[in-house]
Amino acid sequence: MFDRVTIAYRGAKYEIGRGRDFYGVWTTGAPRSAPLDRWPETPEGWSAAWTRFASIEAPGAIVPAGRRIPPAGPGTVRVDENPGPFGQNTDEPGEKVRPAHETPVVSAGSATLHPGQARTGPAGRAGGGRTGAIAAAALLGVGVILGIAGLFPAYLGGSSLAQQADQLIPHVVYLAVWAVSAVLILLGGTRLRMGALLGLGLSLVTFGLFLADAGTAITASGNVGGAGLVLSLLGWLACAAGSVMAFLLRPAGQPDALARPRGPELAPVMMLVLAGLGVAAAFAPAWDSFTLRTAAGQSQSLIAGNAFHNPGLVIAGDLAVMLALAAVVIVAALWRPIRHGAVLLAAAAIPMAAQAVSALVQAGQGASSAQFGISAAQASQIGLTISSGFTPAFWIYCAFLVALLVSCAWMLFTPRPVPGPYPAADGGAYGWTAAAHDDLAGENLDDEDQDEDWEGDTRDGGEPAGETGDAVTPVFEMAPSRASTAARDGGSTAA
Q: Is residue 96 part of a domain?
A: yes
Predicted local distance difference test score (pLDDT) of residue 263: 77
Look at residue 275 and tell me if it is in a domain.
no
- Identify whether 276 is part of a domain: no
Residue 347 and residue 334 share a domain: yes
Helix (H) or strand (E) holding 20: none
- The DSSP element (H or E) to which 301 belongs, if any, is strand 299-304
Pairing of the two strands 418-419 and 63-64: unpaired
- Main-chain dihedrals φ then ψ at residue 477, nearest 5 degrees: -115, 15
> Are 77 and 222 members of one domain?
no
Q: Alpha carbon of 145 to those of 140, 175, 227, 237, 338: distances in Å?
A: 9, 9, 14, 12, 32
Residue 464 lies in a domain: yes
Q: Give yes or no: residues 9 and 98 share one domain.
A: yes
Measured CA to CA, the distance from residue 102 to residue 81 in angstroms comes to 7
List Cα–Cα distances, 360 to 356, 388, 399, in angstroms.
Answer: 6, 10, 15
Q: State whether 108 and 198 are in the same domain.
A: no
Within a domain: 401: no
3-state secondary structure of 491: coil
Query: Nearest-CA neighbor of 366 among 288, 299, 296, 307?
Result: 288
Among candidates 68, 70, 69, which has minimal Cα distance to 443? 68
142 and 76 in one domain?
no
Residues 361 and 438 in one domain: no
**Sign of CA pseudo-dihedral 445, 484, 422, 55:** negative
Query: CA-to-CA distance for 399 and 29, rounded, in angstroms?
Result: 52
Looking at the 3D structure of the chain, how many domains does it have?
2
Concatenating the DSSP letter of every residue in 231-277 gives HHHHHHHHHHHHHHHHHTT--TT---EE----GGGHHHHHHHHHHHH
Cβ contacts of residue 404 below 8 Å, gap of 6+?
272, 275, 276, 279, 329, 345, 349, 352
* DSSP-derived secondary structure letter, 440: G
Which one, of 446, 447, 416, lies nearest residue 434 by Cα? 416
CB atoms within 10 A of CB 492: 19
Same domain? 240 vs 315: yes
CB atoms inside a 10 Å sphere around CB 28: 13
Q: Is 106 domain-assigned?
A: yes
How far apart (Å, rounded) are the C-alpha atoms in residues 96 and 437? 40
Q: What integer pLDDT is reported at residue 64 of this predicted model?
A: 83
Query: How far apart (Å, rounded) are the C-alpha atoms in residues 216 and 315?
Result: 10
pLDDT for res 46: 85
Q: According to the model, what pLDDT value does residue 370 have?
A: 81
Residues 169 and 315 in one domain: yes
Task: Answer yes or no: is 403 within a domain.
Answer: no
Q: Is the same domain home to 298 and 386?
A: yes
How far apart (Å, rounded) are the C-alpha atoms in residues 252 and 310?
47
Would you say residue 405 lies in a domain? Answer: no
Indicate the DSSP class of residue 72.
Answer: B
d(CA 251, CA 126) in angstroms, rounded, equals 9
| 86 contacts 25 by C-beta, under 8 angstroms | yes
Cβ-based neighbours of 202, under 8 Å, separated by 6 or more = 174, 177, 178, 181, 239, 243, 347, 348, 350, 351
Looking at the structure, tell me whether residues 168 and 243 fall in a common domain. Answer: yes
Average pLDDT for runs of 10 along the chain of length 495: 71 86 85 84 83 83 64 38 34 37 38 39 53 95 97 92 94 97 92 94 97 90 85 97 92 69 83 95 94 87 89 94 96 90 95 96 85 84 89 96 93 63 37 37 40 39 42 41 39 39
Amino acid at 71: P
* Same domain as 104, residue 4: yes
* pLDDT at residue number 3: 52
SS3 for 36?
A: coil
d(CA 144, CA 177): 10
In contact, 343 and 263? CB cutoff 8 Å = no
Judge whether 197 and 340 are in contact, CB under 8 Å: yes
User: Are the C-beta atoms of 22 and 50 separated by less than 8 Å?
Assistant: no
- Give residue 424's domain range: 1-124+418-495
Specify the amino acid at residue 246. A
Answer yes or no: are the C-beta atoms of 372 and 294 closer than 8 Å.
Answer: no
Note whether 191 and 151 are same-domain residues: yes
